[in-house]
Amino acid sequence: FQDSVDALLKSYFNSELENGGAKYSEGVYAVALNPKTGAVLSMSGIKHDLKTGELTPDSLGTVTNVFVPGSVVKAATISSGWENGVLSGNQTLTDQSIVFQGSAPINSWYTQAYGSFPITAVQALEYSSNTYMVQTALGLMGQTYQPNMFVGTSNLESAMEKLRSTFGEYGLGTATGIDLPDESTGFVPKEYSFANYITNAFGQFDNYTPMQLAQYV
């Protein structure tokens, strides 16, 4: 199985290189786990030297290298909303362009095209809504979104702790327990701004390893 995944990953990356899709990529990584037991079935990785173009096997990169996860963390953000009493069940919020005083708008990919409309928690995941996550993150700070609002940051630290605590329950930003050397627990900066916190709610600040992301799933 490991050999099959290695071969599949190499074939995929070579194909992406040929069509230009991976020209600036530092590599590609894949982890396969048994969903019932958590047993590791495969750890595969390919490191891409951007200067020479050389490809080298890098299976340990699945536990030592970290990446910005993007939208996959949105389920954990909603979980944090539930866990901290900010969201209730399949709660409906208005998916809308988010504008804070003195900052650029935050949008979901479709809000610019279709405008504002009500959206449930399930739909927020289905449509990959950024703005639902932002409103949830604001709720963790004890605030409700209003257009062009001024955001008080006195609760910023406690809100980030709540968000990261839920993420950690899924294995994000914590040790996975795998018996391998030099495992990274992710890149979770101690210093951050309100903007960092808000974007973390939709996966654009803290960094995690492929193994952590597999465990989260």
Q: What positions carry a catalytic annotation?
A: 71
User: How far apart are alpha carbons 139 and 86 in whole angstroms?
Assistant: 6
Bridge-partner residues for 94, per DSSP? 118
φ, ψ (nearest 5 deg) of residue 57: -60, 140
Structure tokens given for 5: 């995944």
Neighbour-count burial for 1-40, b at 16+ CB within 10 Å, e otherwise: eeeebbeebeeebeeeeeeeebeeeebbbbbbbeeeeeeb
Structure tokens given for 191: 């210093």
From the list 160, 149, 153, 152, the residue with the least C-alpha distance to 200 is 160
Quick check: 87 and 216 in contact, CB under 8 A?
A: no
Residue 70 is given by DSSP the state G
Quick check: 84 and 136 in contact, CB under 8 A?
A: no
Q: At what angle do helices 156-169 and 130-140 cross, to 10 degrees?
A: 120
